[in-house]
A and B are shown apart, each in its own frame.
Chain A
């Protein structure tokens, strides 16, 4: 290291401010001139670090992995579509059983009047249950939103690579949630989609908790 500390002191300041004065000083100070030359040579040498090499198989690998991913997506979508028929089949089977039951245990006219007055005025149980699920889902989403607001400042300007990764993951989760919600809008009774949506929300909650913890640590 040089005897003169001017260059070191400038480095310790941590900004490029004062560079012009340093250059003036270095013109008359040998050790600082050497350090300044090295400083400038770093930028001059940096472009030579650009690496170029042939990789003829790379694009083929990329295309292959994208095709495989697309095929996997299509297969998974196909499975989901076939599963989408299950509730319909279950409902049809239930209807059939109910119709048979109705024939076997058909109540008398008096009993029928009683049943009409007591039960049929109430809404269907499944609709009630679904409404409960939707309400608790709304509360869950609201609590995640609150967590989201807590984590937002850190995610807006992430200071660590881990936070950047979390932000990317949350973007992907939001996309998945939006997609599942739009599918659910078309079929509110699809329990499989609801389970998937719940899993996505749980993952989002877990990720946000990690972000908040990261913020504290």
Chain B
């Protein structure tokens, strides 16, 4: 959950705040859980919505030092999972709109199926596929752009 929140929000402190708020919301709203989704999917849905709320709050604060298009903090990665493209990819991901970023992170980073991503984002499975495709397309173009700029 921390990883997902960090990829959506960009900073570890905000990610931890989002996870804390999510657990509190889950505690308060446990009665409203209808069983139409699995508990974990529901919990992730609450987390994603909490992250959206935090992003909206951040957007309303013009003096906020962390912009939504600013490259995120580099958390580092375990050597076994590191990839030469990671840093560029993280920077490009931070520039995506929150919906596509959430779909991409849930599917490609966290490994959820399109059906689960749809459940979490409250969209049909086909929309999840489209969102992930659009995110990859955007990332591809940004990565190519930065590669050409460097060249």
Q: Which A residues have a C-beta under 8 Å from some C-beta of B?
A: 1, 11, 14-16, 35, 38-39, 41-53, 55, 58, 61-62, 65-66, 69, 157-161, 163-165, 167-168, 171-172, 174-175
Q: A157-B122, A158-B123, A175-B31 are in contact. Are A14 and B130 (CB under 8 A)?
A: yes
Q: A42-B89, A171-B32 are in contact. Are A50 and B137 (CB under 8 A)?
A: no
Contact across chains for A1 and B144 when beta carbons are under 8 A apart: yes
Instruction: Report if B95 contacts A (CB, 8 A).
Output: no
- Residue count of chain B within 8 Å CB distance of chain A: 58
Of B6, B31, B134, which contacts A51 at CB under 8 A?
B6
Q: Is the interface of B mostly helix, strand, loop or mixed?
A: helix
Give the complex CA separation of A174 and B29 in angstroms.
Answer: 11
Instruction: Report if B20 contacts A (CB, 8 A).
Output: yes
- Residues of chain B within 8 A of A159, CB atoms compared: 123
Residue of chain A at shortest CB distance from B105: A49
Contact across chains for A46 and B89 when beta carbons are under 8 A apart: yes
Q: A15-B133, A45-B86, A157-B123 are in contact. Are A1 and B148 (CB under 8 A)?
A: yes
Give the complex CA separation of A44 and B24 in angstroms.
Answer: 35
- Residues of chain B within 8 A of A172, CB atoms compared: 28-29, 32
Report the minimal beta-carbon distance from B83 to chain A, rounded to whole angstroms.
4
Q: A39-B136, A48-B89, A51-B77 are in contact. List 18 more A-B contacts (CB 8 A).
A: A14-B134, A15-B133, A16-B129, A35-B140, A45-B85, A45-B89, A47-B108, A49-B89, A50-B3, A50-B77, A53-B12, A58-B19, A58-B20, A66-B27, A158-B122, A161-B99, A174-B32, A175-B29
Kindly supply a per-residue 1/0 record for chain B positions 134-146, scoring 1 wherever the CB is within 8 Å of any chain A CB and 0 otherwise: 1011011101100
Of A15, A45, A69, A174, which contacts B28 at CB under 8 A?
A69
Q: A35-B140, A45-B86, A168-B49 are in contact. Are A62 and B109 (CB under 8 A)?
A: no
Contact across chains for B108 and A43 when beta carbons are under 8 A apart: yes
Give the complex CA separation of A7 and B15 in angstroms.
Answer: 36
Contact across chains for B144 and A35 when beta carbons are under 8 A apart: yes
Report, nearest first, the 8 A-B pairs whose CB atoms are least far apart: A46-B108, A45-B85, A45-B83, A48-B83, A51-B75, A161-B52, A171-B32, A48-B86
- Residues of chain B within 8 A of A58, CB atoms compared: 2, 16, 19-20
Give the complex CA separation of A138 and B94 in angstroms.
Answer: 49
Instruction: Report if B41 contacts A (CB, 8 A).
Output: no
Instruction: Report if B78 contacts A (CB, 8 A).
Output: yes
Instruction: Report if B66 contacts A (CB, 8 A).
Output: no
